[in-house]
Amino acid sequence: MSATPVSSPAAEFSATQAVAAGTDFAELKVGEQGLFWNEFRPADGACRIWHWHQQQAHCLTPDGFSARSRVYEYGGGSFCLAPQAVVFVNEKDQQVYSQALDGSPPQALTAASECRYGDLQWHDGQVLAVEERHGECVEHRLVTLAAGMRQVLAEGADFYASPVLSPDGQRLAWIEWDRPAQPWTLTRLMSRARQADGHWGPTHCVAGQDESLQQPRFDTDGRLYCLSDRNGFWQPWGEFDGGWQAIPAEAADHAAAPWQLGACTWLPLGPQGYLATWFDNGFGKLAIRSEDQDLQVFAEDYTRFRSLAMDAQHLYAIAASPTRPPAILAIARDGQRSRILAGGGEVLPAERISYPQPISYPSGDALAHGFFYPAMDSQHTPPLVVFIHGGPTSACYPVLDARIQYWTQRGFAVADLNYRGSSGYGRAYRQALHLRWGEIDVQDACAAVAFLAGQGLIDADKAFIRGGSAGGYTTLCALAFHDVFRAGASLYGVSDPIALGKATHKFEGDYLDWLIGDPQQDAERYRQRTPLLHAERIKAPVIFFQGELDAVVVPEQTRSMLEALKANGIEAVGHFYPEERHGFRKAQNLAHALEEEWRFYCRVLAG
């Protein structure tokens, strides 16, 4: 028999402490004035730009501002570097501002209230950006902004990303795609060159043959490169001898699915090779691959790397490990020394941390992947919490997640799953979710319980499932269509895909057609996979957490599911947060949700 988790000295790691450890970083950039990054702290919910200069870091963003784009709702590319200034998108009004490094107040560069901006790049006095204009319909373009002037560089496609200019300013490249494609299914790499009169010439498609392309780059000689999954993984390709060719690389994804703009997981070094990070069985690696194919590996204690940058002396990355939360890492180019510039502080003593163990297990006719975290101090076979990530075309990583440690400190084991459809394991694995959402992801979640119980690692009769957004949908489907879990938690989760399709934003406007099918032609499939229509089949208690400002999964969905369960006599609890959007950001709400979820499971176990 297993025991109900109870408070212990280990459980003194509180929800508030777990949330406080949730400081994160994004968009690391290096320039003549030093190193810059965007830092999110749950304490105030703002994103602030920090400047590392002369061995010190100081915050540039004043109170009342937050550097965060909302293009495509998920944002990214919220700032760029200009001479003696940073240029950023302000979260509240989505306008572009310039702020001098001397600390003077930000100055607005745009005043188009109907527009949002993201993926900012600076070149020769101009800001290059993705523009999202909201009118009768939502339109996207590539534009330049300078001194009150706006110039359209590309329009006509449904979506744009990753605009980049060659060092001499003579070539422009970008990624574009059209509905119903998503950026991880089918995109095009486009290019334009300047003509003799200084105007841009015709648009040329460089690549885009049943592949997903991302992160175009120019080297110092003006040669164009990009990541393509044409050969099964997102790997570097480039222009050579008049053709578009694959560059020798590890047989692994060198990037995650591009949900946000502004990612940088590789940098070409011209004839010297390239700097890149890639996934090896879910674990991140960082290395320079030289022209002769030698690998110089860096920071082997870390297991995830993002937002790479470099100068003459150092490589820089946002890095995390199983024992450290995200940190700004400076690595000497010779690989002999690494230094943490920000973040990465101790959350728990090393001996108190539950370490991720990679698992690959049978599910249906395939293998699924994930990470298992043993319960701490458990003298019995522990209960299990299955974590389902959002997306669903996203991933979880083997890094210190204070939320997971919160559970393991309280006697729960955790399975953090990269079910089929997750990124990081190649195109075929990612594409496996096509038309099968609500089926194989659920199958993988249930199979994980059977696998871990078969290993004697958990008590299969005391398994819980939880997830946010798309992970909430998988959670509700698992509870409705399988009798595996004792209870579940849905954080801003999808309960009605049809309603989601009617209310969702342009970026995901056709995503459900890819995940499930055409709402009219495949109406029966939707009916079979809609938890709200099968609420009577849910016999396990459920707790819901929802932001009232959520534009992705609107609050009415959660209220409908909550009311349906209560009407059926099922224990169901809902918590609604007036100022939260899709994904909570305020520390008090994050802590409240975490602790309430734990208390909910404890009540279920005690009952």
Q: Any idea what the Cα angle at residue 304 is, between residues 300 and 305, rounded to 5°? A: 90
Q: State which fold the 9-16+348-606 domain adopts.
A: Rossmann fold (3.40.50)
CA-only gyration radius of the chain, Å: 24
Tokens of 174: 């970008």
pLDDT band at 335, cuts 50/70/90? confident
For residue 43, pLDDT over 50 is answered with: yes
What's the rounded Cα separation, in Å, for the pair 251 and 256? 14
How far, in Å, CA of 134 to CA of 140, rounded?
9
Instruction: Output the pTM of the full model.
Output: 0.93
Sorting pLDDT into bands at 50, 70 and 90, what band is 10?
very low
DSSP output for 216-284: EEE-TT--EEEEE-TTSS-EEEEEETTEEEEPP--SS-SS----SB---SEEE-GGG-EEEEEEETTEE
The span from the CA of 418 to the CA of 466, in Å, is 14
The span from the CA of 596 to the CA of 15, in Å, is 10
Q: What is the pLDDT of residue 352?
A: 94
Handedness of CA 405, 406, 412, 415 (dihedral sign): negative
Amino acid in position 347: V
Q: How confident is the model at residue 376 (pLDDT cuts 50, 70, 90)?
A: very high
pLDDT of residue 6: 47
Rounded (5°) CA angle 265-266-271: 175
Res 272: pLDDT: 78
pLDDT, tens digit (0-9, with 9 covering 90-100), for 295-333: 999 999 999 999 999 999 999 999 999 999 999 999 999
> What pLDDT is attached to residue 300?
95
Are the beta carbons of 68 and 261 closer than 8 angstroms? no
* Percentage of residues of the chain with pLDDT beyond 90: 87
The predicted structure's pLDDT at residue 5: 52
Average pLDDT over the chain, rounded to whole? 94
Where residue 572 falls among pLDDT bands split at 50, 70, 90? very high
Distance CA 129, CA 87 (A): 11
Identity at 264, one-letter amino acid code = C
Residue type, 366: A
Question: What's residue 11's pLDDT?
Answer: 53
Lowest mean pLDDT, pick from 392-396, 409-413, 586-590: 586-590
DSSP per position, 424-456: SS-HHHHHTTTTTTTTHHHHHHHHHHHHHHHTT
Tell me what the mean pLDDT of segment 538-547 comes to.
97
pLDDT one-digit tens code per residue, 126-174: 999 999 999 999 999 999 998 778 999 999 999 999 999 999 999 999 9
